[in-house]
Amino acid sequence: MKTPPTILLVVPVAVSFFQLAYGGTVQHQGSTCTVHASDDASDDAPAILEAFQLCGIGGQILLHDDLYHIETEMNTTGLKDVTIDLTGTMLWGTNITYWRANGFELGYQNMTTAWLIGGHNLTFNGHGVGTLDGNGQLWYDFTKGVSNLPGRPISLVIGNTTSSHFDGIRFVQSQFWTMAIKDTVDVLLENIYVNSTSNSSQPARNTDGVDTMFSDRITFRNWTVTGGDDSISTKANSTNILIQDCVFHGGLGVAIGSIGQYNGVFERIENITAERVLALGSRYAGYIKTWTGIQQGFPPNGKYPYQNRFS
């Protein structure tokens, strides 16, 4: 009697892995993308960008490894109904020449950013442990106290964003301003920790906690900020900003401004409320900053030949 042939059944499973040329990998299952960091400390930014491309609309991006190395800029805009879950640390690279030449321009005050994020109905959870580490000491030593070195990037810019929630994120040793919010409406940022302090004789200059511009109905709740400049700053066309239950260590407290830096440009700041704010060792609890109406150069960084790529 002949032995019946063996039949091999192959059952498809909806899991795929994307191995990039360098850096981490993306595990894609349904609407969930899990980013796994590289084993050799190479650039994980391409894998993170791939995850946002695959799951940035109606999905979730999980960043749960201990350490992700970010060596190149990231543009994650046009998102919708997405959850970003970060429990590890994103560590920005040390190539100052690269960052000065490649940051995304903010389109205001000649500022650039290392990471641009934006969209509708974003939920970014850090759970009190997810951290963005800008490797700022390198920048503090490099600038030698120069406040506005051209090309010095903001860690994170939230741009063109609506109806979103950022919760429990930690920012340490930011390269420049920690965060900026531009062209954004109806966003809550709560339980945020910021600490950008220098460990050398060179000061951590212009390490604002967050700056707003051309934005409306933004709430900052339960922030702890230690830095070398404004803790929270509301700049041009910031309206209906609510600041609650925050603690500031050092720095300059809440800044209204600055505005009035550009010839012939009308800027306004309206309805800013700060309540239950504790300022410990800060120069001010709050203050107003305006220019005289006489433009000096191209404020504040000077003109430099980088293409405006904020869109």
% residues pLDDT > 70 (the chain): 87
Going along the chain from its start, the domains and CATH numbers come out as: 15-65 (no CATH), 73-290 (2.160.20.10)
User: What integer best gives the mean pLDDT of the chain?
Assistant: 89
Confidence of residue 299 (pLDDT cuts 50, 70, 90): low
Q: What integer pLDDT is reported at residue 23 of this predicted model?
A: 81
Residues identified as active-site: 229
Q: What integer pLDDT is reported at residue 240 of this predicted model?
A: 98
pLDDT mean over 285-289: 94
pTM of the complete model: 0.89
Q: What integer pLDDT is reported at residue 169 of this predicted model?
A: 98
Question: Cα separation of 300 and 277, whole Å?
Answer: 29
pLDDT mean over 150-171: 96
pLDDT mean over 68-72: 98
pLDDT of 22 higher than 70: no
pLDDT of 211 higher than 60: yes
pLDDT digit string, tens, across residues 105-152: 888 888 899 999 999 999 999 999 999 999 999 999 999 988 888 889
pLDDT digit string, tens, across residues 234-273: 999 999 999 999 999 999 999 999 888 887 888 999 999 9
